Amino acid sequence: MLLFLNEKIMKKRLLIYGFIVGLLSLSNYVYGQLSLSYQYSSLNKLGVGYNFSQRIWTELRIYSNTNLENFTPELALLYNVSKKDRHEIYIGVGGVVNYFNGLIIPMGLQFTPFENFKRFSLQIEFAPMIDFDSSDLIFQSSAGIRYTFGKD
């Protein structure tokens, strides 16, 4: 039984690593910008984002304060409602699976505190989630940082 669990865990890890490496290698061939983020709250998240255009982007987030058995990915499609030189206001929709199973509606503000370093930004996000398993409405809020690769 223990051997089966280890194989299952290894397959999950390989799938995750393969997805991240594939996403990173695609960034050299297609238009867009890749970003890494960290959101701090009671449900900390690590994220890999990809900007398809100035307005539309997506982000794969992984809840970082769970064990491997409760590995919980969250995928969101986001839209910049307002995009100015030093800030963006965004809204989106997405899903989360495993520890939670449901729908999320992220809304946030992302701003660049340093004029000469536009790749680095701070963010504040509010993301209500409907957990289908428990029929609960969970209100998540977080503060975080983002680093965007590519051009300023």
Residuewise pLDDT in 10s, the chain (152 residues): 444 456 666 666 666 666 666 655 554 544 458 999 999 998 899 999 999 888 999 999 998 877 777 788 999 999 999 988 899 999 999 999 988 889 999 999 999 999 888 889 999 999 999 999 888 899 999 999 999 887 65
Q: What is the pLDDT of residue 2?
A: 44
Q: What is the pLDDT of residue 105?
A: 97
Range of the domain at 141: 33-148
- Among residues 62, 36, 40, the alpha carbon closest in space to that of 142 is found at 40
Q: What is the pLDDT of residue 146?
A: 95
Separation CA 143–CA 57 (nearest Å): 19
Question: What's the first-to-final CA gap in the chain, in angstroms?
Answer: 51
Q: What is the pLDDT of residue 31?
A: 47
Residue 12 in domain: no
CB contact at 8 A, 152 and 35:
no
Query: Would you state the structure tokens that stand for residue 49, as one six-digit string?
Result: 């984002």
Backbone dihedral region for residue 145 (phi beyond 0: left; psi -120 to 50: alpha; all else: beta): beta
Q: What is the pTM of this model?
A: 0.75
Residue 2 in domain: no
Residue 7 in domain: no
Residue 101 in domain: yes
The residues near 3 (Cβ < 8 Å, ≥ 6 apart) are: none
Backbone angles phi, psi at 54, to 5 degrees: -65, -25
Query: Would you state the structure tokens that stand for residue 16, as one six-digit string?
Result: 């995750």
Counted domains in the chain: 1
Separation CA 137–CA 100 (nearest Å): 11
Cα–chain center distance at 31: 19
Residue 13 in domain: no
Residue 8 in domain: no
CATH no. for residue 73?
A: 2.40.160.20
Residue 141 in domain: yes
Q: What is the pLDDT of residue 118?
A: 85
Cα–chain center distance at 18: 17
Residue 112 in domain: yes
CB contact at 8 A, 45 and 33:
no
